[in-house]
Amino acid sequence: MTEPDARVIQLVMSLRGQGVTDKHVLAAIERTPRGLFVPERFSEHAYDDRALPIDCGQTISQPLVVGLMTQALKLDDRHKVLEIGTGSGYQAAVLARLARRVYTIERYRTLAKEAEARFTQLRLTNITQRIGDGTKGWPEQAPFDRIIVTAGAPVRPETLLDQLKPGGIAVVPVNNASGTQTLIRYLRDAEGELAEEALMDVRFVPLVEGEAKAL
């Protein structure tokens, strides 16, 4: 797929200047056509560094946030990744270029089906999807080397963190007192103990229990 090179290059340069320095992450973003993941009415803004609305009242994340969250995972091609909140599929597509396999859960059937079509178009065959309650994780496929959550958890998500391998990393937005979220990186050591590190303030749609029945 041919991309508007100037806009993509400008975006990648902007991300590099704002702290996304991992060359593999930048290459994955450069190779993932964000224009495919945004609604047609916002196509002129597809390569702007900002979040955009998608169906079902959700958003496609700001490219900077995608880059920083992906970088924080410290991925390599041996890792099995759990993503909570497929949304448009953009974050999963970036992850799929870096990890061995991505398991992604979406509560809205409409979004999941649209994302599946995009993965097929991009020939990303290492993504496995599920429609359901992301707060429960994917116990049948646990444990995971990496976990990423693309919605704001009300509290530390213990059910998800229990599915993280020793030596694993999870990146999760967690509600804070200011009414936004703090992006937390959780690291599980070889003995199974969890440490956490606050990375930055972010603003995501809330992480909601249950599968959406209507959409």
Please give the model's pTM, rounded to 2 decimal places. 0.94
pLDDT digits (tens, 9 = 90+) for 56-65: 989 999 999 9
Contacts of 115 (CB under 8 A, 6+ apart): 86, 87, 88, 89, 92, 104, 106, 129
* 153-172 pLDDT tens trace: 999 999 999 999 999 999 99
186 pLDDT above the threshold of 50? yes
CATH number for the segment(s) 5-202: 3.40.50.150
Tell me the domain boundaries of the chain: 5-202
61 carries an active-site annotation? yes
From 14, 43, 61, 178, the catalytic residue: 61
